[in-house]
Structure 1
Amino acid sequence: MSRAARFLGLLLCAHALPSMAQVSNAGTIQVSSDGAVGQPGKAAYASDARLSNVAVAARVDPDAYILGAAWLQPALQRDQLRLRAGIVYELGAIRRQALAQGDMPLGETSAAFQAWISARPITGRRTSVTLDPSRLEVTPAEDWPVHDGDTLFYPRRPMDIRVVGAVEKACHLPHVSLQDARHYLATCPASAAADPDLIYVVQPDGAVFTQNIALWNRDLPRPLAPGAWIYVPFDRHAITGAADETFNHDVADFIATQLLSDEGWR
């Protein structure tokens, strides 16, 4: 074989084979950690890495609030964007119907809440998952695979409860240990547009519960964890025709995607 032929063969092989950098990056993913961690930022993991691998490597601070930790997945952002858009659209329809019927409290409250929802970020948070590093290491069923671009966010423990929805004004209230969720409404009163029979409780891990609060249907007390949300729903009878029957639950589900502390997320 001539020298030229050998050189051409080597050249073709060089183009056909991946570079060393490509080989080293094959089979790896980039996952980030943020918040109350000792090792924040993006890091490379094996393509089959799981939550425990990232949580342990992040060196979560002892004072991190594990209950409010969030697993953020870019793959979930599109569905959450659609959910928010649908809620915003229905709030606009509620407002138009209310004004046409002369229901000013409902019209004003829906407009204010529409502005609030529109300003909420799309996080990609996957709710109701365990992100405690110690628990993940010994509970394989909860140790889910992570994906390229994911982030684990660990906040610090908050001291408040947030009340939003059909209220006179959105509130940040001090958390009171073991206090029933409905008692917070004494400090943050519902508006005339609120459903009188129930509220939605969104715990810091994103779990959503309904709680009946009227005298005729009152549930047992439900204490809130620090950082929980109370969503006061719109009167389901007043919004019939403008929003579908899942509207209030959709709002609670979207609130569950919000991070415990927007200030703590970069």
Structure 2
Amino acid sequence: MIIFRLATLAFGVAASASLHAAPPVTVEVSGSVRNPGTLTLASGALLSDAALASAPDERSYMLGAALLRHGELIAQTRLKTGLLFDLEMIESREATDPLGAAAATRIAREFSAMPVTGRVRQILAPRSLEMDLKSNRPLADGDRLYYPTRPGTVSVIGAIEQPCSIEHRPLQQPLEYAQQCPALASASKDDLFVIQPDGEVEKLGIALWNRSAESTLAPGAIVFVPLNAHVLRDVNPAFNEEAARFLATQVLDAPGAPK
């Protein structure tokens, strides 16, 4: 009788565990992979599981691979909304600062067209993930992994006459890229921001008094020409840093890029 009761109790525990088992996670993979589309993986699956299952092909540009998370969308939407609000405030001062207002209009046009992606900085090379326990974090339901092809250009945007796409040259410095795109009068003469294709952001001094050490860019990098401090007065002194942070959430434009 005791044995029967113990067996019944064990069966009940097992059944309860089965009923309350964590559901599988569903992720979407796109870009230069052999197995694009929706993947359903067991609860507790890691990023490496999705990366290996998607099988990035020989054209995949790992430095630009992107993890897009639904949970990041709200914060990034607020970031974009705040940037557009700041630019609107600068535009409203057209009567007292027409050059700053014109620059704000240009930048607002660019940023308005950029999507909120949910991108978080993350290595996604399958074998690298397997060896890096800290980076190989659990998947979240709804995650999207995107593996672009390797671009051949560097983009320059911000306080310039018009956005530029310049052929990538391995040893060319960020300032040399920026100098190929005419800057507006309201552009900062002291700093540039560099956003590498993996989402790394770096602020570089470009004036004689704050000149940074030499820095190289990877294909697909963005050079952001910031607004000067005078334009940002009484609006948001951290605007340029926040703008660079938003740019780091964008993904490389290649066939299969998520929209």
- TM-score, with structure 2 as normaliser: 0.90
- Asked whether the equivalents of residues 178 and 225 of structure 2 are also in contact (C-alpha less than 8 Å), the reply is no
- Say whether 1:100 aligns with 2:92: no
User: Matches of 2:23 and 2:105 in 1, distance apart?
Assistant: 49
Match for residue 122 of structure 1 among 104, 107, 116: 116
What amino acid maps onto 1:116 in structure 2? E
User: Matches of 2:246 and 2:254 in 1, distance apart?
Assistant: 15
Gaps of 5+ in 1: 1-16
Kindly state the Cα deviation for residue 188 of structure 1 after the two structures are TM-superposed.
0.8
User: Matches of 1:63 and 1:108 in 2, distance apart?
Assistant: 40
What amino acid maps onto 1:48 in structure 2? G
- Say whether 1:193 aligns with 2:186: yes
What amino acid maps onto 2:249 in structure 1? T
Cα separation, partners in 2 of 1:89 and 1:262, compared to 1, 3 Å: farther
User: Matches of 1:217 and 1:26 in 2, distance apart?
Assistant: 54
Cα separation, partners in 2 of 1:263 and 1:40, compared to 1, 3 Å: closer
Moved over 3 A (4+): 22-26
Number of residue pairs matched? 243
- Say whether 1:69 aligns with 2:65: yes
- TM-score, with structure 1 as normaliser: 0.87
- Asked whether the equivalents of residues 180 and 221 of structure 1 are also in contact (C-alpha less than 8 Å), the reply is yes
Kindly state the Cα deviation for residue 239 of structure 1 after the two structures are TM-superposed.
1.5
What amino acid maps onto 2:252 in structure 1? L
User: Matches of 1:43 and 1:130 in 2, distance apart?
Assistant: 19
Match for residue 241 of structure 2 among 242, 246, 249: 249
User: Matches of 2:43 and 2:149 in 1, distance apart?
Assistant: 29
- Say whether 1:230 aligns with 2:226: no
Gaps of 5+ in 2: 1-14
Q: Which aligned pairs between 1:103-252 and structure 2 lie closer than 5 A?
A: 103-127=97-121, 129-241=122-234, 243-252=235-244
What amino acid maps onto 1:124 in structure 2? G
Kindly state the Cα deviation for residue 25 of structure 1 after the two structures are TM-superposed.
9.0
User: Matches of 1:172 and 1:163 in 2, distance apart?
Assistant: 6
> Percent identity between the aligned chains?
37
Kindly state the Cα deviation for residue 186 of structure 1 after the two structures are TM-superposed.
2.0
